[in-house]
Chains A and B, each alone.
Chain A
Amino acid sequence: MTSKWTSRLIIGLTLTFLIGPFLIIILAGMSAGDFLAFPPDGLSLKWYIKVFTVESFQKSFALSMFLAVFGTLTALVLGVPAAYAISRYDIPFGETIKTVVAAPIIVPGIIVGLALLRYLVIPLGFTVTLALFLAHTALVLPYAVRVVLSSLNNLESDMEEAAVLLGCSRVGAFTRVVLPNIQGGVLAAFILGFVTSFNQVPVSLFLSGPGVRTLPIDMLSYMEITFDPSVAALSALLAFLSVVIVFVAEKFLGFSRYV
């Protein structure tokens, strides 16, 4: 009896802890007042509408979208063959490669950002956008490799040999037989990578230039100057977007199998 109540209490507290801030943000964004406050100062949707008209948000949203979509796609283009090679061939230093690929997860993002700024942007004259693109690709790569690797490991390698004996080349066997069977994993990796990239702060912190900022960084700097509820409204919208993406993915792909 007691243990049942204890576990309910723990679940309740956990959910409050996870969902509570989300609710606070949604409500704070619905304020009718001019300052970010909780409880909100009257109710209105004006801040939810206003965020769409802020020009810097539009630009940074576009940049973040671009990075999330193309950074993740690039990471997949590199990561899927890498995962395939690791799982199917006895490549030298396979384990080491797996560890190195995971490095961007382990090394604090702020260091990655600083390193890119110091060694690529400043001395080599890389544009900030290019550095951001490289950083986001590298950051998503470990997820791409890991998630795809786990779905590859569930796939018998006999299948590819069967395809080869039926006339396929090795590459043909990969595209005709392997890819269709790991689609789910690749999509899961894309979504995970997209969300990771979109929400990324530490790396991007150092990599901003005139008019070039990712959305989270733009929100931070907006808040330093203006303390109105639009940031709360925008956060709530972004959180909502993430939830929708994950929900759809779960519904159609059984996303949670891969993560």
Chain B
Amino acid sequence: MSDRFVSLQKLSLAYGQTEVVPELDLDIREGELIALLGPSGCGKTTTMRAIAGLMAPKTGKIFIDGTDVTRTPANKRGIGLVFQSYALFPHLSAFENVAFGLRLKKMDNLEVTSRVEHGLNTVGLAHLAARKPAEMSGGQQQRLSLSRSLVMEPKVLLLDEPLSNLDARLRLEMRTELQRLQRETGITMVFVTHDQAEALALADRIVLMKEGVIEQLGTADELYNKPASKFAADFFGFENIFAVSDAGIVGNKGSLAGTFEAQDGHLAWRPGAVVVGKGPYEGTVTGVAFAGEQREYVIEAALGQIKATTPATDKRYEIGDSVAFDLPLAGAWHLPEGRQGVLMAK
């Protein structure tokens, strides 16, 4: 198993004069399921297109399985791509959609038939082989698109927001499906998403991108529990992030004096870590929402907005209520200037 099965080296990508990815270095391991995560417009699709060969990099190199493919045309790279829009061929049946690539390989008919049948079976579509894509549901089209790429046995399978067009239930189903397929086939998969929950649930490793730059790369556990930057912390649910200064914390509206004894940098709390109903600080409730097992509050305090959640069984505060709160130092995530983040001691 190669640790650098797909290797992007000093890759820089641009549309005309617009630079999207300045310089990207990334190594993807053989057989892993890796997520490209980041806000809209950060260059996820662009990076995928470059790996697939649909877009030529301005500078830099792309290696796949040890071979430099930077100048290899897209149809010779052996890479599969599942498009967000599925990109199925509307004039062909499900069977012929899956057979499309195999027929181009000049494979004999019997072989094609058996492979297509197997491919459709894997994604549970064998009974719909004769249907046209337009006669299938969104989830079925999605699986068909996946199957069309999988039968080609690509070295790498790229998936661009594979689950974003599906409803919540189907999305969960497809998540499990993807994981199963990946485990069964052992194909190296890269999938794009801007949903952190999806990345956490699916990926072996996550690449967090921001404006074309890798902000952090690591396992789900690392990114969720040990975000390396303010951006990463914010992306993984630390909704209260404040700068530390003179044992106080500074928000966008003002500051909160207190005993925040930490080195300069930032302190971050998840909404669940904020104590509501008691504590040394005071704020006004400006938003409250019921979210099943918990209640979500927006509290306007001297330093700005605080996002907090409490168990739904706790006392309920209404909009306009004055409420005491605390930001306990123990358990806060600390991001000292220029150094690794640490969990503040209990």
A residues near B (Cβ < 8 Å) are 156, 158-159, 161-169, 172, 176-177, 180-181
Stretch at the interface among B27-35, B72-80, B277-285, B337-345: B72-80
Q: Mark B86-99, 1 if CB is under 8 A from A, else 0.
A: 01111100000000
Given known contacts A167-B104, A168-B75, A158 and B87 CB-to-CB distance under 8 angstroms: yes
Task: From the candidates B74, B75, B91, B149, name the one contacting A180 in the complex (CB within 8 A).
Answer: B91
Give every chain B residue within 8 A of A161 (Cβ-Cβ): 54, 74, 81, 83, 87
Q: A159-B87, A168-B75, A172-B104 are in contact. List 7 more A-B contacts (CB 8 A).
A: A156-B87, A158-B85, A162-B83, A162-B88, A166-B101, A167-B101, A181-B90
* 9 A-B pairs closest in CB distance: A166-B101, A158-B87, A162-B87, A167-B104, A180-B91, A158-B83, A159-B87, A164-B75, A164-B74
Whole-angstrom CA separation of A180 from B92 in the bound complex: 9
Whole-angstrom CA separation of A167 from B83 in the bound complex: 16
Whole-angstrom CA separation of A163 from B87 in the bound complex: 9
Q: Is the CB of A163 within 8 A of B90?
A: no
Give every chain B residue within 8 A of A172 (Cβ-Cβ): 104
Give every chain A residue within 8 A of B149 (Cβ-Cβ): 165-166
Best-surrounded residue of A161, A162, A180 (most CB of chain B within 10 A): A162
B210 an interface residue at 8 Å Cβ cutoff? no
B42 an interface residue at 8 Å Cβ cutoff? no
Q: Is the CB of B104 within 8 A of A165?
A: no
Q: Is the CB of B80 within 8 A of A165?
A: yes
Give B158's nearest chain A residue, CB to CB. A165
Give B16's nearest chain A residue, CB to CB. A90
Whole-angstrom CA separation of A163 from B149 in the bound complex: 10
Whole-angstrom CA separation of A159 from B80 in the bound complex: 13
B residues near A (Cβ < 8 Å) are 52, 54, 74-75, 79-81, 83, 85, 87-91, 100-101, 104-105, 148-149, 152
Task: From the candidates A158, A166, A169, name the one contacting B148 in the complex (CB within 8 A).
Answer: A166
Whole-angstrom CA separation of A158 from B100 in the bound complex: 15
Q: What would 18 A/B residue contacts be, using CB atoms closer than 8 Å? A: A156-B85, A159-B88, A159-B90, A161-B54, A161-B74, A162-B83, A162-B148, A163-B100, A165-B74, A165-B79, A165-B149, A166-B101, A166-B149, A167-B75, A168-B75, A169-B75, A177-B89, A181-B91
Whole-angstrom CA separation of A163 from B75 in the bound complex: 9
Q: Is the CB of B85 within 8 A of A165?
A: no
Given known contacts A156-B85, A156-B87, A161-B54, A166 and B79 CB-to-CB distance under 8 angstroms: no
Q: Is the CB of A164 within 8 A of B54?
A: yes
Q: Is the CB of A165 within 8 A of B105?
A: no
Minimum C-beta distance from B272 to chain A (A): 41
